[in-house]
Amino acid sequence: MKFSGLFSRVLITFTLGPLVLAAAYFGGYWFLGFVALISVISFWELSQMALKKETIVTTGLGSVVILFFLINLHENWVAPLDVIFFSVPLFMFRELFRNKGSALSNLGATYLGLFYIGICTGSLVLIRDFAGFRDNQGGLFVISYIVSIWLSDTSAYFGGLTFGKHRLLERVSPKKSTEGFYFGMAGAVGSFFLFRWLFLDFLLVQDAVILGLTVGIVGPLGDLSESLIKRDVGVKDSSNLLADHGGFFDRFDSIIASAPFVYLYLKNFIEL
């Protein structure tokens, strides 16, 4: 059946969705816990995929560093760069005492997880805790951003199934179409205009357009980047933790990729 995947998408949305949005709304340690959860589990999923290539990720130490990095962003104990400067050499030293696999591959996969997953998800903490937000603007902005990802994905899904004829990047993801990509981009831009009208009145028209385009373009690129890794190691999903819907890396790849861009635009161009 053409829309056979719809039920599982709806089921995941109505189970995980409210928990994610509640964490974003209340912020604090609730949201920090959510970010830490998707970051550490996604890092672990990457390590399991790397094993398919006989590559060993330093999962334990990496998880500790990611958790400390995220907590430090929230608590402001030391400058974030200080954490990076201190922790990066540790993995080189750890590899000295490992006699399995390729040192270069092991370190490459470990650093990929640390920087792409750990640091990029840290942008979510910075967005939620942004000092310029008043009252609960931070919670509403994060909710709008996350929902825009979902609406973009849904628009791309239906648009691709209904009108998709031209493959977007067939060697990476044969099912994704150019038409679906444009539907997803339109859904993201439209969602930011909707939220601007509802409660993000500090956004200018150009802010809604740029944020929507960021979500609509960078989000799918994040999804395709994860698909590239999965295709390289020969797996369909990053894990089966979410049953038929794959793993955490599968569900949050678009957010992981786009969060740094959203944060940098928020920090440098939005006037609150």
Tens of pLDDT, residue by residue, the chain (272 residues): 444 455 665 666 667 789 999 999 999 999 999 999 999 999 999 999 999 999 999 999 999 999 999 999 999 999 999 999 999 999 999 999 998 999 999 999 999 999 999 999 999 999 999 989 998 999 999 999 999 999 999 999 999 988 988 888 888 888 899 999 999 999 999 999 999 999 999 999 999 999 999 999 999 999 999 999 999 999 999 998 887 678 999 999 999 999 999 999 999 999 88
Question: Which among 104, 80, 90 has a CA at the least distance from the CA of 263?
Answer: 80
- Cα pseudo-dihedral 169, 171, 176, 180, rounded to 10: 10
What is the C-alpha to C-alpha distance for residues 57 and 50, in angstroms, rounded to an integer?
A: 7
Locate 206 and state its tokens: 């150009």
Burial call 177-202: b when 16+ CB within 10 Å, e when fewer: bebbbbbbbbbbbbbbbbbbeeebee
Residue whose token pair is 């295709």? 231
CB 263 within 8 A of CB 127: yes
Handedness of CA 255, 258, 261, 266 (dihedral sign): negative
Query: Strand ranges (DSSP E) for 39-159?
Result: none
Number of H helices, E strands in the chain: 10, 2
Cα 178–Cα 180–Cα 184 angle in degrees, nearest 5: 120
Domain boundaries of the chain, sorted by first residue: 6-269
Q: Which residues make Cβ contacts (< 8 Å) with residue 13, sequence separation at least 6?
A: 150
Count the neighbouring beta carbons within 10 Å of the beta carbon of residue 172: 18
